[in-house]
Every structure is written in C-alpha cells, then in structure tokens.
Amino acid sequence: MTNKTAFDHLGQAVSSALPPGLSEDIKKNIHAVLISTCDRLGLVTREELEVQEQVLQRMHQQLQTMERQLTELEQALLKKT
C-alpha cells in the first residue's frame, strides 16, 4: 500500500544517522523493517491519499447523478399512474 520511493528517503535518513561501521545488510534490514512497519500501520503517502480523494470525489459525483436520475424516473412513473 505504501510508495516504496517515499520511504527510501526515510530509510536514507535513518541510515545516515547510524554509525558508519554498520554493514549494508543491517542497513537494508532496518529499511525493510521501516517499510513493513509503515505498511502494518496503514500509512500511505500524500500522493496515494490525493489519488483516493479524487476517486472518492468522482464516486460521489456519480452517486449524485444516479440519485438525480432515480428521482426523475420516480417522478415520471408517478405521472403515468
């Protein structure tokens, strides 16, 4: 669910704070744990949030259109009876 590149920056920041003698394997493990933790917590990037907001907005507009069409159909049906 998370954007891996967004957490690369976080991983690099953490790696730069670690002692220089630490092996690459340990740094990679720390990075993997950061990504895993963020996934488990349900954290998303700003970009993912904005995309979901756009999807929600489109769905809301479609729902409003369908409700308007339903109302028109109900009114037309009532006029026929």
pLDDT at 5 over 90: no
Domain identity same for 24 and 34: yes
What are the φ/ψ torsions at residue 22 (nearest 5 degrees)? -70, 140
Task: Write the CB contacts of 7 (distance below 8 Å, at least 6 apart in sequence).
Answer: 31, 34, 35, 38
Domain identity same for 5 and 38: yes
What is the extent of the structural domain holding 23?
1-44
Domain identity same for 4 and 40: yes
Residue of 38 and 1 predicted with greater confidence? 38
- In angstroms, the CA 11 to CA 42 distance is 18
pLDDT grade for 46, boundaries at 50, 70 and 90: confident
Domain identity same for 77 and 53: yes
CA distances from 27 to 23, 35, 37, 48, 60 (A): 7, 13, 15, 26, 44
Residue of 40 and 56 predicted with greater confidence? 56
Q: How many domains does the chain have?
A: 2
Mean of the per-residue pLDDT values of the chain:
84
Beta strands in 5-58 (DSSP E): none
